[in-house]
């Protein structure tokens, strides 16, 4: 029970694969248990938003910073991205869900109660309209194309090679 005179060095040793595999900050991991998080984007709608550190900041082979600078900037990037996403979703998620619920509810109501009855009514009238339309085209358009075909049948096209 006295004063300890020894100085202890603390270091974090992390496998590079483990470091690159992590999308969330290192500080958010609890223990060594890695449970698979539920897939909240099963249809991959937001694949273009899966941005990693290497997608934003990249050093060419000809110029590299110190490894600790790279690791520190990677950790800062992931931490800030994680925190800002959490803060913004906390502030915006419920209001946006409410607004989008209203918008999609109105669109569904309009589609179900206005658009589809009109479409179904037109489809019921379409067979009789189709008969009238076909007779009109047979009367006026078909003779026109038939006579144009006779007139243009006497045209001969010759190709010449240079």
Phi, psi of 14 (to 5 degrees): -135, 135
Which residue has tokens 């050093």? 59
- Contact between residue 2 and residue 58 where contact means Cβ atoms under 8 Å apart: no
Q: Which residues, including other chains, have CB under 8 Å from residue 28's CB and lie 6 or more apart? A: 82
The most confident of the ranges 39-48, 69-78, 109-118, 129-138 is: 109-118
Whole-number pLDDT of residue 9: 55
Q: Of 17-26, 116-125, 136-145, which range is least confident?
A: 17-26
Alpha helices in the chain (DSSP H): 16-21, 53-56, 67-110, 116-152
- 2-6, 59-63, 98-102, 157-161: the lowest-pLDDT one: 2-6
Greater confidence, 152 or 19? Answer: 152
Entry pTM: 0.45
More confident residue, 13 or 87: 87
Which pLDDT value is given to residue 1? 47
If pLDDT is split at 50, 70 and 90, which confidence band does 154 have? confident
| Tens-place pLDDT, residues 131-150 | 888 888 888 877 777 777 66
């Amino acid at each position: 029970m006295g004063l300890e005179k020894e100085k202890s060095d603390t270091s974090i040793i992390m496998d590079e694969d483990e470091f690159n595999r992590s999308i969330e900050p290192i500080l958010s991991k609890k223990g060594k248990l890695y449970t698979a998080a539920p897939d909240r984007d099963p249809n991959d709608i937001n694949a273009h938003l899966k941005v990693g550190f290497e997608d934003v900041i990249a050093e060419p082979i000809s110029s590299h910073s110190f490894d600790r600078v790279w690791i520190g900037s990677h950790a800062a990037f992931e931490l800030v991205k994680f925190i800002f996403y959490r803060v913004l979703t906390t502030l915006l998620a419920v209001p946006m869900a409410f607004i989008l619920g209203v918008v999609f509810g109105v669109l569904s109501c309009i589609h179900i109660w206005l658009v589809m009855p009109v479409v179904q009514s037109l489809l019921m009238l379409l067979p009789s309209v189709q008969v009238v339309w076909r007779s009109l085209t047979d009367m006026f358009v078909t003779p026109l194309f038939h006579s144009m075909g006779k007139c243009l049948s006497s045209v001969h096209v010759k190709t010449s090679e240079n």
